[in-house]
Structure 1
Amino acid sequence: MPNKKKITLQTIANQLGLTVHTVSKALRGLPGMSELTRKEVIELALQLGYRTKSQEQGMAVEHIPIYTSKSRRFTFIVPNTGMVYIHQSLYEGIQSRLAEFGHKLEMLFAPCDTASDEEFKEWADKHSLHFTDGLFLTPMITARIEEKLLRLPLPKVLLNYPPPAAQVDSVMWDVSSAVHQSVQYLLSRGHRRILYIGDIRMHRGFRLRWQAFQEAMATAGLTAEEEHHLTDTGSPDTYTLMLTSILERNKPTAIIAGIDHDLSWVYYGCSLLGRKIPADYSIVGLEHSPNTHIPDLSRPILPIKEVGLRGADRMLWRLANPNLPFEHIRLQGSFCEGGTVLTIPVE
């Protein structure tokens, strides 16, 4: 990595073929360029380890050590069922931030949900967890294993919504705001009969999405009773039957797919009925990443990699401030209007 002290705005400008003025505005969040250009500038600045004076002052205010002679080792724990996009994106965000400070990040799969206390202890000893400088705990780890990890006497950042009264710092993309954004957008396009689709029991974040949907609908003077929405899971055949049945019975004009892997099932169910999106049903999907099959999907932007970056900052802050109260941070993204929502006359 180049020497951070020698990295200037001109360095970034030269590599991207931009003016210093454009690079400066991009890093300060000012208008005057495309979002793609801004993204390229920010990513290169992160890669090169460049920080503006405002960024360094902000880190100093938060008591985050900018320079350190000690290299630390952190552990990033993912579910034993395997990694998905959100884990990879979180890992990249954390790793890029820690690398700026000369720290290391190691990935580790959590033990299986059936692990006994003794087996969990053996797993922790095997991977020398008690000698790591801190743990990053990702979404989708089972509640039982997460509880055991939270009890470990180490600095921890939970990249998820914390359980009630959990003694841990947390950083998360704000799915509640994302659902409110989705409902408000559909309402602004004339939709009142909005169907919510997505499991509401498996994870805390799933339950919060449903609660946010109910709150957003209630704010608009609309009801959202569970029996009128598809909140269960099942076998493919059962799920398809439930989906087509509820579409026929409730006749929604719009759908919110609250869980990313449900989106393909929604399209499949609509095709079985001879219906099309958005001609017959407008749709908003809470996708964790741009959908390659539906590139114009209307969706809230979930800032997952940014959560990783912020999570790394929180870990370094916690190490520098071990006695301060725990903090819980939610990052809100923007909304991509896309092409899967049509405007209809207000009923």
Structure 2
Amino acid sequence: MPNRKQITLRTLADHLGLTVHTVSKALRGLPGMSEQTRKEVIDLAMKLGYRTKNQEQGMAVEHIPIYSSKSRRFAFIVPNTGMVYIHQSLYEGIQSRLAEFGHKLEMLFAPSDAVSDEAFNEWADKYSLLFTDGLFLTPMITAKTEEKLLSLPLPKVLLNYPPPAAQVDSVMWDVSSAVHQSVQYLLSRGHRRILYIGDIHLHRGFRLRWQAFREAMATAGLTVDEEHHLTDTGSPDTYTLKLTRMLERIKPTAIIAGIDHDLSWVYYGCSLIGRKIPVDYSIVGLEHSPNIRISDLTRPILPIKEVGFRGADRMLWRLANPNLPFEHIRLQGGFYDGATVLPL
């Protein structure tokens, strides 16, 4: 890999077979290329550690240290139930950013909810947690374990929606905007009987999605009765029965699948009553990961890896500004106009 000081626009252009002008426009956010090309340019710039003058000036304004003589060690905490696509993308985003500054990121599995305070402290001692420079806390960590992690006397960045009054910086993709985008998209294509599907109790982010759905519908002058939407989970048989009965009773023209793992159940439920997507029901899905079975799904784009990247910046900012107020940052993505929504 070339020395970071030797990386220029020409280096990036030669790697990608593009003109210097195109690379420059991509990094400055200017139009004139496909989003895929722009992504390739930005990804390579991140990988090779290239920064524009504006980026360096912006980091200086935010008091984010660009150069460091000390290699720092951070811990990336994931749920003890295992990693999913979200955590992998977040990890890649954080690691790529921290690597630019010579820092290290270590992945750790959180202890279970059932452990005592003594066992939690033993776990923290085992991994020398209090000797790290900071913690990144990911989604789906249970509430009790998250509370214990938040109480540790270390800089922390919560890659999730913060609990009320939490004393922590947070960075997260904006699911509220994603739901508003989804509702507005369906309304623009003539759909007004929109069925929301997704648990609203399990995680804070799930509740925010439901709240955003109600707000978006109310803005359009449409009332939302929770009894007319599928907002809880159960056994597969019970869930499927509820879904098929609701489809036949409510007769929606469109569906918003608020949680990615519900999407396959929606397709299955439709097949049981002889209905097809998008012929009978248009659908928008809030997908965290690429869906290989429904590659052309209409969906809001959730900038998960970018949250990791921004979270790393927020951690470096916090280290340089320990006494400034906590900040909560939400990143909004675009919208993919796929093939699962038909106009009425």
Normalising by structure 1, we get a TM-score of 0.99
Report the Cα offset of residue 153 of structure 1. Answer: 0.2
State the alpha-carbon separation in 2 of the partners of residues 120 and 223 from structure 1: 46
Deviates more, 1:133-142 or 1:25-34: 25-34
Indicate the residue corresponding to 2:102 in structure 1.
102
Unaligned 5+ runs, structure 2: none
Indicate the residue corresponding to 1:59 in structure 2.
59
Report the Cα offset of residue 35 of structure 1. Answer: 1.1
Report the Cα offset of residue 210 of structure 1. Answer: 0.3
4+ long deviations beyond 4 Å: none
- Residue 15 (structure 1) aligned with residue 21 (structure 2): no
Instruction: Give the match's secondary structure for 2:74.
Output: strand
State the alpha-carbon separation in 2 of the partners of residues 175 and 101 from structure 1: 30
Indicate the residue corresponding to 1:76 in structure 2.
76
Matches within 5 A, 1:279-294: 279-294=279-294
Letter in 2 for 1:38: R
Alpha-carbon displacement from aligned partner over 1:16-74 (angstroms, at most 9, x marks no partner): 11111111011001111111111111111111000000000000000000001100000
Alpha-carbon displacement from aligned partner over 1:248-301 (angstroms, at most 9, x marks no partner): 110000000000000000000000000000000000000012211111100000
Alpha-carbon displacement from aligned partner over 1:137-174 (angstroms, at most 9, x marks no partner): 00000001000000000000000000000000000000
Alpha-carbon displacement from aligned partner over 1:82-117 (angstroms, at most 9, x marks no partner): 000000000000000000000000000000110111
Indicate the residue corresponding to 1:139 in structure 2.
139
State the alpha-carbon separation in 1 of the partners of residues 211 and 38 from structure 2: 34
Matches within 5 A, 1:262-341: 262-341=262-341
Unaligned 5+ runs, structure 1: none
State the alpha-carbon separation in 2 of the partners of residues 141 and 215 from structure 1: 28
- Residue 180 (structure 1) aligned with residue 193 (structure 2): no
Indicate the residue corresponding to 1:214 in structure 2.
214
Instruction: Give the match's secondary structure for 2:46.
Output: helix
Instruction: Give the match's secondary structure for 1:283.
Output: strand
Normalising by structure 2, we get a TM-score of 0.99
Alpha-carbon displacement from aligned partner over 1:205-252 (angstroms, at most 9, x marks no partner): 000000000000111111111111000100110000000010011000
The count of corresponding residues between Structure 1 and Structure 2 is: 344
State the alpha-carbon separation in 2 of the partners of residues 113 and 224 from structure 1: 35
- Residue 89 (structure 1) aligned with residue 89 (structure 2): yes
State the alpha-carbon separation in 2 of the partners of residues 232 and 49 from structure 1: 45
State the alpha-carbon separation in 1 of the partners of residues 137 and 124 from structure 2: 14
Letter in 1 for 2:125: D
Letter in 2 for 1:103: H
State the alpha-carbon separation in 1 of the partners of residues 158 and 15 from structure 2: 36
Instruction: Give the match's secondary structure for 2:238.
Output: helix
Instruction: Give the match's secondary structure for 1:266.
Output: helix
Letter in 1 for 2:69: S
Letter in 2 for 1:180: H
State the alpha-carbon separation in 1 of the partners of residues 259 and 18 from structure 2: 39
Instruction: Give the match's secondary structure for 1:123.
Output: helix
Indicate the residue corresponding to 1:231 in structure 2.
231
State the alpha-carbon separation in 1 of the partners of residues 340 and 287 from structure 2: 13
State the alpha-carbon separation in 2 of the partners of residues 123 and 271 from structure 1: 47
Matches within 5 A, 1:39-50: 39-50=39-50
% identity of equivalent residues: 87
Indicate the residue corresponding to 1:168 in structure 2.
168
Letter in 1 for 2:239: Y
Indicate the residue corresponding to 2:189 in structure 1.
189
